Amino acid sequence: MFKIGVMASGGGSNFKAIIDRIGEGDLEAQCKFLITNNGGCGAVHHAEEYGIPVYHISGKTHPDQAAYEAAMLEVLDKYDVDLLILAGYMKALPLCMLKRLPNRILNIHPSLLPKFGGKGFWGHHVHEAVLAAHETESGPTVHLVSEEIDRGRILAQTKVPVLPDDTPDTLAARVLVQEHALYWKTIKEYAESLGLH
């Protein structure tokens, strides 16, 4: 059984989908912690419900950048996780974390990367851009986190049709269903490819 840590900033539906799969025995992993930069977010409630330790680390809790980075690394050192899973974490990771866990940090993005990725492309902004570009399909991408935002190696994608009467909200809802189905499977397959058990 391999160990994961999760980072989230929002409602935490992807986080919950992963934890549920662990609970059902589909994903043989242990979730050791949740790091959030938003102490009141939905992901925190899910973590508390499942008895997962929560660490609120942000510019508010650690205004000094060196202390902020040290706090992040302290959590990684304490639990020695195999993979770090970003589930709607809305902040770029400090370089020290990428160096601590090279090719071991995964993220899910709500578009078919490399399209509609990078700075400014998050949440509803992604779906608005997809509709504005008159794309016929969209969908989630799971990728490794690299120094360049949304540019790491793509591990998996699922295509979702863009319908003529779609709004950013209806498209987001359809993509999110596929995110929940794709992320845990990709984590499982990637862990297997690394020989993690």
The answer to whether the CB of 130 falls within 8 A of the CB of 171 is yes
The residue ranges of DSSP E strands in the chain, in sequence order, are 2-8, 29-36, 54-56, 83-86, 105-109, 137-138, 141-144, 154-157, 160-161
Tokens of 4: 């994961």
- Among residues 6, 17, 48, which one has the least CA distance to residue 181? 17
Q: Name the pairing type of β-strands 105-109 and 83-86.
A: parallel
Which is catalytic among the residues 46, 109, 127, 143?
Answer: 109
- Which among 109, 103, 105 is positioned nearest to 121, based on CA atoms? 109
Active site residue 56: no
Catalytic residues: 109
